[in-house]
Amino acid sequence: MADVDPVWGAPLTPSNIITVDAATLLSTVFPPRELVLAPWLPAKGLAMIYGPRGIGKTHLSLGIAYAVATGGRFLRWQAPRPRRVLVIDGEMPAVVLQERLASIVAAGSLEPPAPDYLRLLPMDLQDGGDLDLSDDQCHPALEAAIEGAELLIVDNISTLARGGRENEAESWLPVQQWALHQRRAGRSVVFIHHAGKGGQQRGTSRREDVLDSVVALRRPSDYQPNEGARFEVHFEKSRGFHGDDAKPFEAALLHDEGWTTRDMEDADMARVMALSDQGTPIRDIANQLGMSKSTIQRMQAKARAAGAAAGHD
């Protein structure tokens, strides 16, 4: 009996398996790989964003969705053109999604070209049962909803891929097969996920094998709960981009200004000087911020030099 594709039930036979020799592959002219959101999310790309609970992952995913749907900009990332987006949300009540999306739309300067460029699939509006991407029987039912979308945002893995044990690699295989099918169909997929107690993405590392990008959100060392969504953005996997594009940065959602970003070096400098101005000893600053004493001293010297230069001017 022929093997069966676990997602779509298509039999795998010798007649539909394609191989290509090296010379043919090297001489084939492929179209340039487009970007859905530059620099880290390519067309037909797979990515994951993870972070601890309450850090602002849904704020981030909706901001990405709106930027891609409008061909706009979000944080330090640019969507080259509008694309149709479907947000599959397994955690937030629809009324909360409504509130957060309304804030994004009110602050934005662009609109989607048509209403269907941004669609949402909240679980609490479904009457036919819960969606579980780890159950391959659910995949065909999604096809009508997915039709036409170029980007799927799955928020989040814990609520939308519940089958099996989280730490077992095999339990991820049906979801991976589903994601690979979406890529073959020309779509990109961004998975939103939780971080574990150790700070890494929760569960099996096998999730990262086929991904183009892995984005980790981390709490700044001086974060206060009343600040809301403020986090560091770190690229732990960056296939196809590097250098300044892959540098970490800090992002914050401010009540009056919307989203702001700054380089990690500037953020670290601000934290060091704030503690220095309070008279905190270098050793305590180093322990509190997780930096070496030599780094603290170098930042202090740089800040003093910049202040002296400004005063001289």
Query: pLDDT digits over 185-204, tens only?
Result: 999 999 999 998 888 898 88
Q: Are residues 213 and 296 in the same domain?
A: no
Q: Are residues 215 and 92 in the same domain?
A: yes
Q: Are residues 158 and 299 in the same domain?
A: no
pLDDT digits (tens, 9 = 90+) for 228-282: 899 999 999 999 999 999 999 999 998 878 999 999 888 888 888 888 999 999 9
Cβ contacts of residue 27 below 8 Å, gap of 6+? none
Tell me the mean pLDDT in the region 73-101.
Answer: 96
Q: Are residues 295 and 175 in the same domain?
A: no
Which pLDDT score, from 0 to 100, does residue 11 have? 67
Q: Are residues 91 and 201 in the same domain?
A: yes
Burial-class residue 285 by CB neighbours within 10 Å (0-12, 13-18, 19+).
buried
Distance CA 139, CA 301 (A): 58
Residue 224 within a domain? yes
Q: Are residues 204 and 69 in the same domain?
A: yes
312 falls in which pLDDT band (50, 70, 90)? Answer: very low
CATH number at residue 242: 3.40.50.300
Q: Are residues 167 and 254 in the same domain?
A: yes
Residue 11 within a domain? no
Q: Are residues 51 and 200 in the same domain?
A: yes
Q: Are residues 228 and 303 in the same domain?
A: no
Which pLDDT score, from 0 to 100, does residue 8 have? 52
Phi, psi of 195 (to 5 degrees): -90, 150
**pTM for the structure as a whole:** 0.85
Distance CA 86, CA 151 (A): 6
Q: Are residues 204 and 296 in the same domain?
A: no
pLDDT digits (tens, 9 = 90+) for 2-18: 444 544 556 677 777 88
Q: Are residues 220 and 117 in the same domain?
A: yes
Closest residue by Cα to residue 47 from 193, 149, 184? 193
> What is the distance between the terminal CA atoms of the chain, rounded to a whole angstrom?
81
Residue 26 within a domain? no
Which pLDDT score, from 0 to 100, does residue 233 have? 97
Domain holding 198, by residue range, is: 32-263
Which pLDDT score, from 0 to 100, does residue 166 have? 59
